[in-house]
Amino acid sequence: MKSYYISNLPNELGTAGLPLDHNPIRKPARVHILALGDVGTTMLIGLRLLGGDVIRSIGICDINKQNTQRLEMEINQIRYPFGGTYLPLPPVDCIDEAQLFDCDVFVFCASKGVPPLGAQGDVRMAQLEANRNLIGHFAALARQSSYKGLVCIVSDPVDPLCAAFLDRSGCHPAQIQGYGLGVMNARACYYAERDERIHQYLTEGRAFGPHGQDLVIADSLIHYDDTLSRMLTEKVIHANIAIRDLGYKPYIAPSLSSAALSILLTLRGQWHYGSVYLGSAGRGAYFGIKNYMGPDGIIYENEPICRPLYSRLVKSYSNLCNIR
């Protein structure tokens, strides 16, 4: 039986993949975060508590200066009592826009027009146009500063916004990663723990593609079942709607699973879920896959894939390329 691979995806569009042979990470890193809404604030707490081994300091920038002043005070007041041999807690400082790219890691959490509770459809894609214009402004600042560090895109829709930042910033494709797939994997695990039919996802499954409608969940790479995989995919895609139906915005798990934990794994050079660039300079997309940052650049999992799963990945990847 013929096997297929993630690395084949650019060939489906008649192009070759750009090499991801670039590592922009410097440690311990100075991390700067743009926008401290629900997502940015929750992520900030996670980075402060868990990132002392790879983060030297955290700068925060928000249009609401009182918010950043409040967070500078509150987050720096999170600390262990009595000293001891605990993981260091990186200090948090307020910064302004002119300082945003004086860092090693830039995290984009800004967003315009967050859909209200009760919004229907794929609320992530509803934010694309407003956030594409917003990210273009900061990508231009990165170009002006000749930024050489890591860019972490957290705002929705993650994957197209990564491509928009690449187009305007002059950055190497491997400098930019999108952080939306981590929570999709976490949601798949949540449902797999509660349903014996898909329990194999916990040890054999994978998540691929965007943080949104074209997500692909595979129940197993070893014994792929298309029906079960599509069923689990639908559960994961609509998990955020289930939270909204309860009257809450679903930001806690994304802020920690997709953003804080995945960014820390990136800095540590460990496997994580993130969107990396697949394709040529003129034709390609950021696509969510399991990957890590090696000494010489991004390494992504490229295991054999059966034809039914590969067909789903081709459709997802092609749709992302067309958005760009």
Residue 197 belongs to a domain: no
CA angle 187/189/193 to nearest 5° reads 120
Contact 267, 259 (CB under 8 A): no
Angle between helices 307-323 and 226-237 (to 10 degrees): 30
Contact 250, 243 (CB under 8 A): yes
Classified as helix, coil or strand, 20 is coil
Residue 87 belongs to a domain: yes
For the residues of 229-260, what is the DSSP string, one character each? HHHHHHHHHTHHHHHHHTT----HHIIIIIII
Number of domains in the chain: 1
Contact 91, 58 (CB under 8 A): yes
Residue 199 belongs to a domain: no
Distance between CA 252 and CA 183 in Å, rounded? 10
CATH code at position 41: 3.40.50.720
- Residue 87 is predicted with a pLDDT of 93
Residue 134 belongs to a domain: yes
Backbone torsions φ then ψ of 82, nearest 5 degrees: 70, 15
- Residue 116 is predicted with a pLDDT of 56
Q: Which long-range contacts (CB under 8 A, 24 or more apart) does 185-191 make?
A: 185/257, 185/273, 186/253, 186/257, 187/235, 187/236, 187/239, 187/253, 188/217, 188/232, 188/235, 188/236, 190/239, 191/232, 191/235, 191/236, 191/239
- Residue 256 is predicted with a pLDDT of 98
Residue 192 belongs to a domain: no
Q: Between β-strands 55-61 and 206-208, what pairing exists: parallel, antiparallel or unpaired?
A: unpaired
**Mean pLDDT per 10-residue run, the chain (324 residues)?**
92 90 96 98 98 98 98 97 92 98 98 61 65 94 98 96 96 98 98 98 98 94 98 97 95 98 98 97 93 97 97 97 86
Q: Between β-strands 176-178 and 284-294, what pairing exists: parallel, antiparallel or unpaired?
A: unpaired
- Residue 149 is predicted with a pLDDT of 98
Which positions ≥6 away from 42 have C-beta within 8 Å? 251, 252, 255, 256, 260
Residue 146: what residue type? S
Domain that holds residue 118: 6-182+246-323
Residue 213 belongs to a domain: no
Residue 229 belongs to a domain: no
Distance between CA 149 and CA 32 in Å, rounded? 11
Residue 239 belongs to a domain: no
Q: How many residues does the chain have?
A: 324
Backbone torsions φ then ψ of 38, nearest 5 degrees: -60, -45
- Residue 263 is predicted with a pLDDT of 98
Classified as helix, coil or strand, 55 is strand
Q: If we measure between CA atoms, which residue out of 98, 116, 104, 109 comes closest to residue 134?
A: 109
pTM over cut 0.85: yes
